[in-house]
Structure 1
């Protein structure tokens, strides 16, 4: 019988990364970890099961073997053996580049890949930390290219001051950047395609500037849907509330202060439980899986229900595909 799966986190050192994600690895081996991939089927960076009889198997191997029992009938019909989502935690000790991601059509044509629609949840942040998402006014392609050429693009970007618990949906085609001092849980389509537009003239340890993708980016930008909204989380104890609803995934937030049964019988999909804060026991027919803060557990589609038992008040994201 399939059981809730916890994976080994995958460290991603970045030029802008910090020290906060070391807590996930219990080692000083890594430095400047910008991202920790919690659930991934990206080639070369595939999640490996941490425990149980499926230990040491990759996520892609599990999809190939267990098919719709793992991901759900409809999800398997749509995506086959390609696991469709990626979950990561981001620690921005410095500003990320200003960038954009392609939609499904462009990503398929250029890279034979999924596009990249994503959501961010602010796990923690410094005072006055911010993100860029969208433009602050209607802008034409010609104006955009001139701003890129003159290194004045920031003047046109919509700046959002963030607080812990805020969330925002970043669709493909939205120009964006995460500012320094933000720690973020990101749920996205399974894609690692980024078009870097501006990198603050930053140099790596070898003195080289990172590659920019000006031509690729301009055709990927959605100049029509230019406004984006950052929302604060409103918690209602022990009551799930949907915060993101897209064709790619749906995410609800739940603040748990008591034991609760999570009914999965009507969901024809795997379910991802991402712990934002607290510590959670997930009880299931095969035993118990413990989820700590900043971890994500994959619940196979074959499970009809699990019992969520918080060891302390816990906040979680519940994500699936409909």
Structure 2
């Protein structure tokens, strides 16, 4: 077994950071969130409270559990508050330069035995580890979005990650009642390497006029039993995120089959990024989503 973890630090109070804090606190861990501003921390705590309350409403959680989970989460805009944490998970923007800058700031603060992990969905773990002072205690712990709902976590070792770090991370994921899958450190790991080219192919199908938005999504929902059509899913993920993962695959594996569809590029250039911006393959500005082509 790995060493026992009691406290979890989270860098980045966005959607993923909130989800990781939520499930960690429910599992009994003390959680310390860090972000650049107090406002973002407050917004995150409100989001987590809302998501926990929804679980109470749905009968999945007792109100006492919600209250005690919330009581285990604190947040601040001071990186020094991560000093006592057993494991710190970075869930910042999917940009290598941003992550490297964070590691340079956080590594001197961490206790020597602390594990530093990243929630990256596509960047090289080995390369990110090289920007830290503890490559043997660094690895990828990739949660799926939305974290409270999705059962899978991808565990990714860098070339230097030691066995104890891996076991500790695996134990942590198990206590969250999630299933860990082990992926090798290749671009986009397992889920996104298979899922994103499928989405990209659906966009090519639209681009080439093989089917309309509605036809493609209906076909995959009813013909392949997917809970959500690929274009609807792309809008949910964010078309900018879809494009960046396709670019990571294309650059990292140098195979033309990963070429991002020109239509995906066009939507991103238009600022039509999906649900979060009000328009993507569907227009979300009315009562019900309407296909945009």
TM-score relative to the length of structure 2: 0.29
Q: Which of structures 1 and 2 has the larger relative contact order (alpha carbons within 8 angstroms, sep 6+)?
A: 1
Would you tell me which structure has more helix in proportion to its own residues? 2
Calculate the TM-score normalised by the size of structure 1: 0.27
